[in-house]
């Protein structure tokens, strides 16, 4: 101990950086106490798993701390030797230390709040939050008492800086010579470069317990790893197969009456779909509902509360799929699945990727039949790149900027309330009907989102009091939409589709947790459809093909979903949470991971690979590997070329083969 104290007194660099190191590691320890308190019962407390957590956490925390120290070490390198310990040095050091303390205090507090909502350390969602600061800051300001939290941060920072003011700059020790300072700064930089290539966030995800893996991650390390690796290269990281084998499997899955493939022996799955029955030639309103998990439906509530009377009524009158499984846990994933019918690829959703224009989507399909196709959102569609994606893929964009102020009764940071949004959707439908054009309106709601605010007096739960109120108000708005559209001359000839973007939560002990992805899907049109209930599990990517099948719309297809109402439909669905992509069929879940790893679950238990599991793995690879070529496979130009001279399918009487619009 005496030698350690002497070293502290005489070692210049140890004296200058020790306060930074102590504060950084102390904050990290405190930040990890909260997740342990919240989810400690779900963690694996065995000796070896905890040693793994400690090892990974120590490595990531050390690297993150070193990133913070590098600018200060460069400053000490550049500062003339005679200036060390002077007034200017003291001002800079205290200022940098104050920024350091405040930033880490905010980061570690945010880590706790993020864990509370997502049961994980920072990931690509947090990156999105940094990009879309307006919506996120507004959401934070509305959800938490920031008028107390911000002064608290400042006060704590001031107290820590004041307590450390006399030990930050050792006046009694001379600064080392320039070569020594160069070696220290250069050594730190070299270690960081080495860590960039040798340490990966995936190293902390090798354990079998999700909560242990997330606990091991340092917040800053996780944040910047997600920022740098938001789009993952499937070919380089995941299991692959021969592309022709992928396509052959997928063509087999999609084969059936009225299906003619344009490349029956090649690598494509483009096909002409010609229903046996005549098209309904109806209008369509697709409503994607924020966070409306199946667990909120009245039929699944153990407390017997009447929270979703309107959705429950529509489900009883329409075609109901209570066990639809969302592909992901973010809105962009749900919008991707419903609009393009593609399995969820690792990394960000297609909406957020570059070169995502001119794809086959619900918009392009309906537009090829002469429909007015509109994307209608109550917020600012720049968020998550939604306006760009929909605007460049067959839709006219209508967002918050297009809704007249005198038509708005309530807003949150995410946009107008669902009632106002639906009224705008009705106005847009009226415009199309007045022009004599069929319409397909793709509507995305926001009210069932934190901070769960909505107009007062609508339901018996006060605004802003929590998720249950958001759910009940969202359901109330659906009822108001149906009642108002019943007054319109186009109601009888309109098919409504209600589907959630994702469930309300994503936490669980496994890498992927299907139970948190279960959502409802309802097709409602009393003129056209008698009540049907389909309890088998279907994928969110099946929603669009099922809708097209229900209205008997002939079209060119390159999507991956299937019509869940067709005889012989085989239940399977897809899940993802950024790096892990899953395929579920029967009682087996296959999870594909980077470095070409595969994990298996059978009967909800993790198992080793056995011969009977190989076919499930192969089917997962066929879907995901082929879908990884989405820029080519879904390209409208490629569809035009592939269908320039298609084989002639059997046609309904007087129904020509549809030709997609030329962009």
Q: What is the pLDDT of residues 321-341, one digit of tens each?
A: 999 999 999 999 999 999 999
CATH fold of 280-560: Alkaline Phosphatase, subunit A (3.40.720)
Predicted pLDDT at 133: 62
pLDDT of 125 higher than 70: no
Q: Mean pLDDT: which of 195-199, 382-386, 643-647, 650-654 is highest?
A: 382-386
Mean pLDDT of 210-239: 80
pLDDT digits (tens, 9 = 90+) for 461-473: 999 999 999 999 9
Closest Cα partner for 531 from 242, 386, 315, 344?
Answer: 315
Q: pLDDT class for 652, splitting at 50, 70, 90?
A: very low
Q: What is the rounded CA–CA span in Å between residue 200 and residue 202?
A: 5
Predicted pLDDT at 173: 75
Predicted pLDDT at 7: 45
Predicted pLDDT at 302: 85
Q: What is the rounded CA–CA span in Å between residue 606 and residue 212?
A: 16
pLDDT of 16 higher than 80: yes
Spans of all domains in the chain: 2-230, 280-560
Predicted pLDDT at 661: 38
Predicted pLDDT at 473: 97
Cβ atoms 25, 165 nearer than 8 A: no
Question: In 3-state terms, what secondary structure has residue 283?
Answer: strand
Closest Cα partner for 388 from 378, 372, 399?
Answer: 399
Predicted pLDDT at 650: 37
| Residues contacting 388, CB < 8 A, separation 6+ | 382
Lowest pLDDT segment from 13-27, 33-47, 214-228: 214-228
Place of tokens 């300072």: 181
Average pLDDT over the chain reads 89
Bigger pLDDT: 34 or 546? 546
Return the exposure string of 505-538: e unless at least 16 CB atoms fall within 10 Å of the residue's CB, then b: bbbbbbbbbbebbbbbbbbbbeebbeeeebeebb
Place of tokens 């929909």: 390
The pair phi, psi for residue 383, each rounded to 5°, is -60, 135
pLDDT digits (tens, 9 = 90+) for 171-191: 777 888 899 889 999 999 999
Predicted pLDDT at 135: 62
Mean pLDDT of 232-256: 91
Lowest pLDDT segment from 275-279, 362-366, 504-508: 504-508
pTM > 0.75: yes or no: no
Q: pLDDT class for 597, splitting at 50, 70, 90?
A: very high
Query: If you write DSSP's letter for every residue of 482-546 in order, what string do you get?
Result: HHHHTTSTTSTTEEEEEEESS-S----SSSS-GGGSEEEEEEE-TTT---EE--S-EEGGGHHHH
pLDDT of 250 higher than 60: yes
Q: Quick one: what percent of the chain has pLDDT higher than 90?
A: 69
pLDDT of 395 higher than 80: yes
pLDDT digits (tens, 9 = 90+) for 336-371: 999 999 999 988 899 988 899 999 999 999 999 999
Q: Which contiguous run of DSSP H or E holds residue 585?
A: strand 581-585
pLDDT of 475 higher than 70: yes
Lowest pLDDT segment from 74-78, 372-376, 416-420, 508-512: 508-512
Question: In 3-state terms, what secondary structure has residue 624?
Answer: helix
Mean pLDDT of 616-635: 96
Q: What is the rounded CA–CA span in Å between residue 210 and residue 42?
A: 9
Closest Cα partner for 493 from 283, 314, 317?
Answer: 283
Cβ atoms 283, 429 nearer than 8 A: yes
pLDDT digits (tens, 9 = 90+) for 136-152: 677 777 777 888 888 99
Lowest pLDDT segment from 16-20, 122-126, 298-302: 122-126
pLDDT digits (tens, 9 = 90+) for 159-176: 999 998 888 887 777 888
Predicted pLDDT at 134: 62
Closest Cα partner for 60 from 206, 194, 200, 193?
Answer: 200
Q: pLDDT class for 644, splitting at 50, 70, 90?
A: low
Mean pLDDT of 437-459: 95
Lookup: tokens for 325? 């499984």
Task: Tell me the Cα Rg of the chain.
Answer: 28
pLDDT of 288 higher than 90: yes
Predicted pLDDT at 507: 65
Predicted pLDDT at 656: 38
pLDDT of 248 higher than 50: yes
Lowest pLDDT segment from 38-47, 250-259, 444-453, 653-662: 653-662
């Amino acid at each position: 101990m005496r030698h350690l104290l002497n070293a502290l007194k005489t070692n210049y660099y140890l004296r200058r950086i020790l306060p930074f190191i102590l504060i950084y590691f102390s904050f990290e320890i405190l930040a990890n106490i909260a997740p342990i308190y919240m989810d400690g019962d779900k963690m694996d407390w065995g000796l070896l798993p905890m040693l793994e957590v400690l090892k990974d956490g120590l490595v990531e925390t050390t690297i993150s701390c070193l990133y913070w120290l590098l600018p200060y070490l460069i400053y000490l390198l550049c500062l003339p030797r005679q200036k060390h310990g002077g007034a200017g040095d003291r001002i800079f050091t205290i200022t940098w230390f104050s920024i350091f303390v405040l930033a880490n205090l905010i980061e570690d507090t945010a880590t706790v709040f993020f864990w509370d909502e997502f049961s994980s350390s920072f990931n690509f969602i947090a990156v999105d939050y940094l990009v879309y600061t307006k919506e996120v800051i507004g959401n934070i300001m509305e959800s938490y008492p920031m008028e107390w939290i911000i002064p608290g941060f400042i006060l704590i920072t001031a107290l820590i800086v004041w307590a450390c003011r006399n030990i930050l700059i050792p006046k009694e020790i001379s600064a080392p010579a320039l070569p020594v300072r160069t070696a220290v700064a250069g050594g730190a930089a070299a270690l960081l470069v080495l860590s960039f290539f040798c340490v990966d966030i995936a190293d902390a995800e090798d354990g079998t317990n999700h909560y242990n893996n997330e606990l091991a991650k340092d917040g800053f390390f996780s944040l910047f790893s997600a920022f740098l690796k938001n789009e993952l290269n499937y070919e380089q990281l995941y299991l692959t197969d021969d592309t022709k084998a992928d396509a052959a499997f997928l063509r087999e899955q999609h084969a059936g009456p009225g299906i003619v493939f344009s490349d029956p022996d090649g690598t494509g799955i483009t096909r002409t779909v010609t229903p046996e029955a005549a098209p309904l030639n109806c209008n369509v309103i697709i409503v994607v509902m924020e966070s409306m998990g199946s667990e909120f439906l009245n039929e699944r509530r153990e407390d017997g509360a009447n929270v979703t009377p309107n959705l429950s009524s529509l489900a009883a009158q329409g075609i109901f799929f209570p066990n639809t499984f969302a592909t992901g846990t973010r809105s962009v994933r749900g919008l991707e699945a419903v609009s393009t019918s593609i399995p969820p690829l690792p990394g960000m959703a297609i909406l957020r990727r570059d070169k995502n224009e001119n794809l086959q989507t619900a918009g392009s399909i309906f537009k090829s039949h002469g429909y007015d196709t509109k994307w209608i959102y109550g917020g600012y569609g720049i968020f998550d790149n939604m306006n760009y994606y929909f605007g460049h893929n067959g839709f006219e964009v209508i967002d918050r900027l297009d809704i007249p102020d005198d038509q708005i009764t309530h807003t949150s940071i995410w946009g107008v309330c669902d009632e106002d949004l639906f009224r705008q959707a009705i106005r847009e439908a009226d415009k199309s009907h007045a022009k004599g054009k069929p319409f397909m309106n793709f509507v995305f709601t926001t009210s069932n989102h934190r901070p769960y605010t909505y107009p007062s007096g609508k339901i018996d739960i006060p605004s802003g009091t929590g998720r249950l109120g958001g759910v009940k108000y969202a359901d109330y708005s659906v009822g108001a939409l149906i009642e108002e559209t019943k007054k319109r001359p186009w109601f009888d000839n309109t098919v409504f589709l209600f589907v959630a973007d994702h469930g309300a939560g994503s936490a669980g002990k496994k890498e992927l947790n299907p139970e948190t992805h279960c959502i409802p899907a309802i097709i409602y049109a009393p003129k056209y459809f008698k009540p049907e209930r389909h309890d088998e599990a279907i994928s969110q990517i099946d929603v669009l093909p099922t809708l097209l099948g229900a209205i008997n719309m002939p079209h060119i297809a390159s999507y991956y979903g299937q019509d869940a109402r067709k005889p012989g439909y085989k239940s399977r669905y897809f899940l993802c949470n950024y790096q892990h992509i899953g395929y579920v069929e029967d009682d087996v879940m296959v999870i594909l991971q980077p470095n070409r790893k595969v994990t298996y679950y059978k009967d909800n238990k993790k198992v080793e690979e056995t011969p009977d599991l190989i076919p499930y793995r192969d089917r997962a690879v066929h879907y995901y590997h082929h879908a990884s070529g989405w820029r080519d496979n879904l390209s409208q130009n490629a569809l035009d070329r592939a269908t320039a001279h298609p084989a002639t399918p059997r046609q309904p009487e007087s129904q020509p083969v549809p030709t997609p619009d030329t962009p």
